[in-house]
Amino acid sequence: APQLADERDRRRLVDALLPGRRQRRANTDPIGPYLDALGEIRLGLRDPAEVEEQRDDVEGLAELFAPYRARLADRGAIDFDEQIYGAIEALLADGELRRRLQARCRHLLVDEFQDLTPAHVLLLRLLALPALDVFGVGDDDQVIYGHNSADPAFLIEYAQLFPGAAAHPLTVNYRCPVQVVDGARTLLGYNHRRVDKEIHAGPSADPASDGLRVVEHGPDEAAETLVATVQGWLADPDVVPSSIAVLARVNSLLLAPQVALAEAGVPLISVLRPEVLDRTGMRAALAYLRLGVAGQAMDPRDITEVMRRPTRGLPQWFPDRLGRRTSWSIKDLRGLADQVPDKEGSKVLRLADDLALVVAAAHQGTTRDVLEAVRDDVGLGTAMTMLDRTGGGQGSSHLDDLEGLLGVADLHPDPAGFELWLRRVFGREADPDGVTLSTIHRVKGREWPYVLVHEASDELLPHRLATDVEEERRVFHVAITRSSTATVVVADANAPSPFLGELDAPGEPPRVIRSSNARGPAPT
């Protein structure tokens, strides 16, 4: 069987094939966009030149596409997308193979139809011809993988894809309490690209008024509000930790729930791993924190880590010069600036000035003060925004990583011990019977009695990098409908998600509870 190429293999292959003239820029991921674009071509069945023309971050993609596939074939390897794309090619090119397989595939049952891409749909049609007898089971309101070319149109226009098909809409939600079903129905009513249907709660659904609640918190109180909600559920002797799930829009925003719940003694099982601290934004922020604490004895390795985040145009020789000493002070760096040409000296002075800001924040303030100075005054937040725009995917936002770190800053305000404390919390053993922490995308199709949706706030739902608001609304719908007993949505009172106002259903709207210190307007 062919070897399956993982992401690291694919990155190396793309890097080896990229045009040598392409200029690399600091604070960007030059490979990620190409991996995404290769998926757009094969799963989206798009012309490589068209994909390259519509993007500004994949120069040479059209020339790279064929050699990339050839290199995979030469190595006896395939990637996930190639399995589908290659099967389509084989069926189109070999009539005998196509007829033989069609005779074996007279009736097809396809589950999770909402997750299919154009390539999957074409593969099904090729196999199902001539009768096109395909029984598809899917929910257009759960199409949340648009970045992989999934599209609700495949269910909306099912009869065109498979002529003669009859529709059997399922309009009863047997899982969720009445409040959740009503809120979800009203929320989805704002979407225009849907199968025409109206979902209602099952006859045994719990009609309690607290089946869906929105809990607002004040600035920097998200973790505290989350812990209080989970502990409130666990205060009931009939509620066990494994009956609770905490869901977030993106991976790094699970950092605060994981740390806060662990510190509160709540058993956990989480998709978040310590490796998140090694991602670009967090790694740089933690290096700045160490530099601030070190003051006049800064590690040259930490200076090297942050010297291009944000970009300062420092010369190539600079890391080598740093490595000649075991420690540096602000004064030492400014002295180095005097030893080089003025143009380069000014860049070294800018770095020294930035580090002086961080040292001052660490000396005078809290962990939050340092991280906010790094994000706002030094400019790491802007650098991570640049990286997000070139990084190829909203599910891997580096700015979210930085915000996730800020989300736990108040749980350990001493900057000197923050990183050690954070890594110690990550070192705790997972409990398979604990509260589940996960992203929304990972839990589609699963359910728990109690679900908390963490940080349903502006720029997260919908996500600031998203281009399809209707899909983001479907993501939120998936999140709130994972519960069979109760869903609590936690949001920043000063920046609530616009989707919260769309939850109001006929009759009693979901209750909005504000924590005692919450400030700012409630959502309408």
pLDDT in tens, 79-115: 999 999 999 999 999 999 999 999 999 999 999 999 9
pLDDT band (50, 70, 90) for residue 32: confident
- What's at 32, amino acid-wise? G
pLDDT band (50, 70, 90) for residue 136: very high
pLDDT band (50, 70, 90) for residue 341: confident
Q: Which three-class secondary structure state does DSSP give residue 179? A: helix
At 196, list the tokens. 């025409």
Residue 24 scores a pLDDT above 60? no
Displacement of CA 524 from its chain's centroid (Å): 27
* pLDDT at 523 (0 to 100): 26
Q: Tell the burial category of 140 from Cβ atoms under 10 Å away from its Cβ (0-12, 13-18, 19+).
A: buried
Q: Which three-class secondary structure state does DSSP give residue 448? A: strand
Provide the strand spans (E) within 134-265. Answer: 134-136, 172-173, 200-201, 212-217, 244-248
Q: What is the mean pLDDT of residues 10-23?
A: 79
* pLDDT at 219 (0 to 100): 84
Strands 3-4, 77-78: pairing kind: parallel
* pLDDT at 475 (0 to 100): 97
Residue 343 scores a pLDDT above 70? yes
Contact 40, 46 (CB under 8 A): yes
pLDDT band (50, 70, 90) for residue 390: low
Residue of 480, 496, 450, 482 lying closest to 232 (CA atoms): 450
Q: What percent of the chain has pLDDT over 90?
A: 76
Global confidence as pTM: 0.86
